[in-house]
A = this chain, B = another copy of it.
Amino acid sequence: MAVPLTIVADPHDPAGRRTLAVAPGTTILKAAHAAGVDITATCGGRGRCTSCRVKFLAGLPPPPTIMDEVQLGDDLVRDGYRLACQCVLHEAVTVQPAPPLDERAFQILGAGPGVRQLGRVALDSGVAKQLVKVTVPREEHHQTSDLEQLLEAVGLTTADVGPSVVQGLPSALRDDPAGVTVTTFASGTASGGRQRILAVERGDTAVMKFGLAIDIGTTSVVTTLVELESGEQLASVSSLNPQTVFGGDLMSRIAFAQFNPGNLRKLHTRIIGLLNQHIEQICRESGVLAKWIYKVVVVGNTCMHHILLGIDPSHVGLAPYAPVMRHALTLSARELFLKVAPEARVCLLPLVAGFVGADAVGVALATRIYDSAEIRIAVDIGTNGEVLLGSRDRLWACSAPAGPALEGGQIRHGMRGALGAVDRVAVDDDIHVHTIGEVDALGICGSGIIDLLAGLLDRGVIDWTGLIQVDRRDALPPKLAERVVMRGEERQVIVLRPGEAGARQEIVLTQDDVRQVQLAKGAIASGVMMLQHVAGVPADRVAELMLAGGFGNYVSIESALRIGLIPPLPRERIRYVGNAASLGAQLCLVSEIERARAETVAARIEHVSLASHPDFEGIFVDCMNFPRGR
């Protein structure tokens, strides 16, 4: 007998209700996902975060599991909250998933500065348009075809022509007396310079020539529209990767894909669907027609790359973490179902290893680290971060699987950088906060957590091992001391009490939260240290550390230094470089020379596998600790 499960998106909207028939013994999360109802599960449904919490509106909530109690706390459990991943159904219930955050308010970093700011870029996208008049033969004796007449008009003897171009050819050639505009692509990397005809359009559209740079991150996706002739950025759209509902980090997502083949299809269609939404939005905002987009460059980590192509990433997640393919790939938009010009070239930059993807190659291109006389480091912070170290002589890279903690994931009261998130924290005799949008506080996001930890370290509330100093709170200023508490077995710092900064409920930092951040920052810091170790580069020989990524622009560099997220370099040697992965994609968009370079750079990058290095464990344990103070 199936059990009815009613899911209510908004209690005030009768249309937002859906009732599912569920086999008894199924969890709410699995039942919802099976029926196509999205409930966010950042930790992949392992009871490690609060993102899948639901509130019971009708029916009896089951007894709380240990995970319900640890993650949600007594108050929420009493109020009828449960984790959807823990909650097994046995009778009819009605639940409301936690209201989704407003995606548009997310502080996901856009594309940042464009290629025009970089200088030194030879603008040659490979895409050329010309207006020609094609003579359609009038006499039957003339042995020819529409296509041959077209090639003659554009001065080619042979070319690759996609089926969608040929299909529209007869009417295009005959409908407009002004002639037709022919778009060709000469790949800088192909041998012999064979051309491809991408489009034949009625009339004169020669000045309309656009491209897209797409950066598919584990957590966020950024799409940038670029005018190919000038390299100018026209618009940028970013959103959460819609795959996050099936797992916040790569390993959860790979596990989801492994579970059954339909799941891979689900992940694949989600990302294609999102890219088409981006294309629609970016075209609407900019007034550019989608059919005028002839080139697309995509970067992303190996797992995102494989899923985009419909390749099962299961083995990327198993030792020895080998990718299925690594070479640069060019497809037609038609093959990938992207709604731009059907024959548009979609270029995927090459990969380096299972966890060092095309995004790292993009970072290398944008930072010019491959051409540096001095040794530099680039740190791309994200759920699946990467570290690059080197110069024109040698170049190393490793992955830094920080997980979502630095973005508020798997943190008791953590949230993404959205409206209502505590994003700045100062600690003196008390704790002072700033919220995004200066509205009532709902939770704390990554930059707030890092500020908070830096301040607590400075005040001695946390020691260098990360332990919350409940036993020594008497030494603290009274207001601060009152915030350091022991509840049951758990050490906590009360960041906000109900009413403070408009918080409706208490917002705390737990001992476990501190450990999560230690794991995350340990992953990044040990990645940097391991590369220095492997390359034999002490800190004083590092000319520059470049922070990149969707996270890097919002975190305070001082706080990051304080908690040891980045190595202790002089402040002036550290700088932001924006979303370097996307910028690398833009470079390849406007320059075929850069796209060819992506392959040589990818081949040069030496992948350092952290986990298999004998010295890694010691370094990682060291990096988990905090610096011992100023």
Instruction: Give residues in A with beta carbon < 8 Å to B.
Output: 136-148, 161, 163, 166-167, 169-171, 174, 191-192, 309-312, 314-315, 319-327, 331, 335, 351-353, 606-607, 609, 611-612
Contact = CB atoms under 8 A, between A and B. Distances in A.
A170 B140 contact: no
Nearest to A336: B163
30 contacts: A137-B320, A137-B322, A139-B612, A140-B320, A140-B321, A140-B609, A140-B612, A142-B320, A142-B322, A143-B353, A143-B606, A143-B607, A144-B326, A145-B322, A145-B323, A145-B326, A146-B323, A146-B325, A147-B324, A148-B325, A148-B326, A161-B325, A163-B309, A163-B310, A166-B324, A167-B311, A169-B311, A169-B325, A170-B314, A170-B315
Contacts of A310: 163, 167
Chain multiplicity (copies): 2
Nearest to A146: B324
Contacts of A169: 311, 324-325
A312 B163 CA distance: 12
A154 to B, nearest CB: 15
Question: Chain A contact residues: over half helix, strand or loop, or mixed?
Answer: loop
A140 B606 CA distance: 12
Contacts of A137: 320, 322
A142 B609 CA distance: 9
A7 to B, nearest CB: 33
Given A142-B320, A143-B353, A148-B325, 4 more contacts: A137-B322, A140-B320, A166-B309, A170-B314
Given A170-B312, A171-B312, A315-B174, A322 B144 contact: yes
Nearest to A170: B315
Contacts of A167: 309-312
A602 to B, nearest CB: 10
Which 6 A-B pairs give the minimum distances between C-beta atoms? A140-B320, A140-B609, A147-B325, A145-B326, A170-B315, A145-B323
A40 to B, nearest CB: 28
A166 to B, nearest CB: 5
Given A145-B322, A324-B169, A163 B331 contact: yes
A2 to B, nearest CB: 34
A191 B148 CA distance: 21
Nearest to A313: B170
A140 B319 contact: yes
B192 A322 contact: no
Contacts of A326: 144-145, 147-148
A407 B167 CA distance: 32
Contacts of A315: 146, 170, 174
Nearest to A268: B167
A353 to B, nearest CB: 6
A322 to B, nearest CB: 6
Contacts of A191: 192
Contacts of A325: 145-148, 161, 166, 169
A462 to B, nearest CB: 35
Contact of A138 (B141, B148, B320, B353): B320
Contacts of A607: 143
A510 to B, nearest CB: 34
Most buried by B among A142, A146, A611, A612: A146
Nearest to A142: B320
A137 B318 CA distance: 12
Contacts of A144: 322, 326
A309 B145 CA distance: 15
A166 B136 contact: no
Nearest to A610: B140
A607 B314 CA distance: 57
B335 A140 contact: no
Contacts of A145: 322-326, 351
A161 B144 CA distance: 33
Contacts of A166: 309, 311, 324-325
Contacts of A320: 137-140, 142
Nearest to A148: B326
